[in-house]
Structure 1
Amino acid sequence: MYDMATRKRALSLVAQGLSLNSASKETGISRSAIRSWQACIEPLPRIAGAPMRDTPADPAAYAYLLGLYLGDGCLSEHPHGGHQLRVACADAWPGLIDECRTAITKVHPQSKVYSLQRQGYVSVTSYNRSWPVLFPQHAPGKKHLRQIALQPWQQSIVGEFPWGFIRGLVHSDGCRITNWTTRLIGGARKRYEYPRYFFTNKSDDIRRMFTDALDAVGVAWKHPNAWNISVARRASVALMDAHVGPKY
């Protein structure tokens, strides 16, 4: 993320007549970032209390879409300017594909949504100049190789709709599975099955966002290995079932 002074300097260089290439070389900031700031006119972060140029039309849907974006989403430059939001949804979960399309429409009703079939998945895609404003985590490089942090206005939405955010993260990089073990009951060994949730992401920051949200709603979790978060306690699984559920 770049502070306001850095953004203003880059935009001022362009305003003075430098090309995007020259401004990028001068500041070390990507051309796509500078172009997105130009499109937004008044880039985030904003002065406290000032309204944003673009805000989610439906904050609850945005919390869910933010989870999807952090897991399986990205922004890419459009050849004619602006950006495309793309969320990869596996063919195995047609309900997830529909929910993703619905969430995008609710967040930005003016944007058209397209489903582009790829090998093994559907890329749910929408073009709008506002996407870099609504998803300021966009930057060059893979998410797990750079810092990811929510803006205060995003954190406020997640705080108000934590289950939507959790559901989006689980629908992108999580799953609900059934484990089993055996127990000796009355002298006989019987099979015992129990459900659990997993969330897997290489980004320490995104895993922390997930566990912070779980803490906020009272879900107990464990960190069994480097990239995984596990929810296995019966009461916590019941909470997850009530608000998240398996993919479909």
Structure 2
Amino acid sequence: MHSLEKRNTARELFLLGKSKKAIAELLGVSRATVREWCAGDLPSDSPEFRTARCCRCTDPPAPPADEPSYAYLLGQYLGDGHVTVTERVPKLRIACAADYPDIMDEVERAMRAVLARSVFRVKAPGCYQVGSYSKHWPCLFPQVGRGTKHSRRIVLADWQEELVERHPRPLLRGLIHSDGSRSLNTIRTPTATYAYPRYLFANESVDILGICGAALDRIGARWRFNRRNSISVATRADVALLDEFIGPKT
């Protein structure tokens, strides 16, 4: 992380209530440096700061300004995302496969467009955790709760339902980029072998599968359950429809 990125991260974490000592330890700099970087920033309990970045904390609450980016990030969160609320400052993390750097970049852009001024990446086995700290991630993802998503109900809030009705395509793109794939399905018979492309979305949550199915219905794409925990889109016209805004992962 470059010094300017560290400075921006330090200022954001300080505004979100993290102590200068913790920031210094996290970024590997001295507390004096953190004090200098954060001098003059708004206190985290000021009303100007609370409403400066979070559309849900305004009066009245509003949808995110960049609705397509939010719909994409919602799809990623429902698939491979997690909001940690046990730390002093909540943290949104999206697990992104290391093989798909373009998707990592897209997740980072969406986070910045929706809320975050700084985004970090942490390498893990086979993937990167793309994440950001903010007190307001639970405002934007009210599905936060204890345990895994498939062990509890996942229901979109009314404002989220209205947003994904307007933007089902970026939602589906986020879902497929997280827990989905586009691949060739090979069929072998005694006389011939042929293959055709299909999209799959696999998730253990019945509710999240329902959100995916509803979004496919909104764009007129036919789908079916090929397994109890997997949705398949396989007809030529419907695959071509998804190819218009998803395509192979990169």
Q: Do they superpose with TM above 0.5?
A: yes
In 2, Cα distance between equivalents of 1:141 and 1:135: 15
In 2, Cα distance between equivalents of 1:204 and 1:82: 30
Match for residue 75 of structure 1?
83
Contact 2:73–2:171 (CA under 8 A) maintained in structure 1: yes
Match for residue 133 of structure 1?
139
> Cα distance, 1:56 vs. partner?
2.1
Match of 1:107 among 111, 114, 139: 114
In 2, Cα distance between equivalents of 1:222 and 1:40: 44
Match for residue 166 of structure 1?
172
Match of 1:51 among 53, 56, 60: 60
In 1, Cα distance between equivalents of 2:63 and 2:215: 22
Match for residue 121 of structure 1?
127
Match for residue 95 of structure 1?
102
SS for the counterpart of 2:84 is strand
Contact 1:111–1:127 (CA under 8 A) maintained in structure 2: no
Contact 2:72–2:173 (CA under 8 A) maintained in structure 1: yes
Contact 2:63–2:163 (CA under 8 A) maintained in structure 1: no
> Cα distance, 1:191 vs. partner?
3.0
TM-score of the aligned structures, taking structure 1 as reference length:
0.75
> Cα distance, 1:40 vs. partner?
7.3
Q: Which amino acid aligns with 1:120?
A: G
In 2, Cα distance between equivalents of 1:40 and 1:202: 35
Q: Which amino acid aligns with 1:68?
A: Q
Output one character per residue of 1:183-232: Cα deviation in whole Å (capped at 9) or x when no partner.
68xxxx44322100110000000000000000010000011221010000
Q: Which amino acid aligns with 1:220?
A: R
> Cα distance, 1:57 vs. partner?
3.0
Q: Aligned residues, how many?
A: 197
Q: Does 1:153 align with 2:159?
A: yes
Contact 1:66–1:165 (CA under 8 A) maintained in structure 2: yes
In 1, Cα distance between equivalents of 2:170 and 2:130: 19
Contact 1:55–1:134 (CA under 8 A) maintained in structure 2: no
Q: Which amino acid aligns with 1:105?
A: R
Contact 1:182–1:191 (CA under 8 A) maintained in structure 2: yes
Q: Which runs of 5+ in 2 are unaligned?
A: 1-48
Match for residue 8 of structure 1?
none
Residue correspondence of structure 1 range 196-235 to structure 2 within 5 A:
196-235=198-237
In 2, Cα distance between equivalents of 1:127 and 1:181: 47
SS for the counterpart of 1:224 is strand
Match for residue 238 of structure 1?
240
Output one character per residue of 1:151-197: Cα deviation in whole Å (capped at 9) or x when no partner.
0111111011100001100011000010122468xxxx443221001
> Cα distance, 1:247 vs. partner?
1.0
Match for residue 66 of structure 1?
74
Residue correspondence of structure 1 range 19-58 to structure 2 within 5 A:
51-52=60-61, 55-58=63-66
Contact 2:63–2:159 (CA under 8 A) maintained in structure 1: no
In 1, Cα distance between equivalents of 2:86 and 2:124: 19
Q: Which amino acid aligns with 1:194?
A: Y
Identity of aligned residues (%): 43
Q: Which moved more, 1:54-63 or 1:229-238?
A: 54-63
In 2, Cα distance between equivalents of 1:61 and 1:68: 11
Q: Does 1:85 align with 2:97?
A: no
Match for residue 181 of structure 1?
187
Q: Which runs of 5+ in 1 are unaligned?
A: 1-38
Output one character per residue of 1:55-81: Cα deviation in whole Å (capped at 9) or x when no partner.
5231110000000000100111364x2
